[in-house]
Amino acid sequence: MLIDIHTHIDDGMYNEDHYRVINSVDFDDFDNILELSKNNEYVFSALGIHPWYADKLEKDKLEEYVKNNEFAYIGETGLDYGAKACLGQEDVFMFHIELANKYNRPVMLHCYNASNQMYEMIKDTVKVPFLLHKYSDDINLIEKFVELGAYFSYPSRGLVEQIKKTPMERILSETDGKMYDVLKSVTYISETLGIEFEEVKKQIWKNSKNLLTLSNFKE
């Protein structure tokens, strides 16, 4: 079975050809994602505020959603020091980490031009497994993030150095949206590493189950 570990809500059909974790970017996504995950066993939910929208965080509201939805992951959250950088995102990010620790939820992270800052912020605080999705930052920090419990997901293009640096037991496949096919992501990872497709697919499936500890899977 294939799994898209990081995607977003869209108008597409959520059929049984693969599993997917649908990440929110702000509160407007929450109810729709939760409804999809409730009605489709191949859809898992992640609740969080993307760093682009950090100014929309309402702490009590987010915690209430997390507390009341015991099978929801936390995300997408993180740090982004690109053109859309939002003031106060560091505090928002750390609040998500606090919730993840408190409720024992794996957390889905966005990291853009921020890997050193992120590592310093979580190295002594994060207590749960976490995903760095479409990781494009410093390859020299990959091993350090792995020591903290990190997994890394990659799409169907680019990021060759990051893919090659990531231990196979920590690699996952993603699309980050409906324009891409997760099968192409797995194929691309396989070709980049020079490892047979079926071997990569099997390892990604195993890795996914290790990260997504709240979910029930069909083989």
SS3 152: strand
What is the per-residue pLDDT for 169?
98
What does pTM read for this prediction?
0.95
DSSP states along 187-218: HHHHHHHT--HHHHHHHHHHHHHHH-TT----
Instruction: Compute the distance between CA of residue 122 and CA of residue 105 in angstroms, rounded to an integer.
Output: 15
Average pLDDT, consecutive stretches of 10 residues, N- to C-terminus, the chain (219 residues):
92 73 97 95 96 97 98 98 90 99 98 98 98 98 99 97 98 87 96 98 97 85
What is the per-residue pLDDT for 86?
86
**CATH homologous superfamily, domain 2-211:** Metal-dependent hydrolases (3.20.20.140)
58 CB-contact burial (10 Å; exposed 0-12 / middle 13-18 / buried 19+): exposed
Within 10 angstroms of residue 4's Cβ, the number of other Cβ atoms is 26
- Domain chopping of the chain, boundaries: 2-211
What is the per-residue pLDDT for 7?
95
What is the per-residue pLDDT for 65?
99
151-183 pLDDT tens trace: 999 999 999 999 999 999 999 999 998 667 899
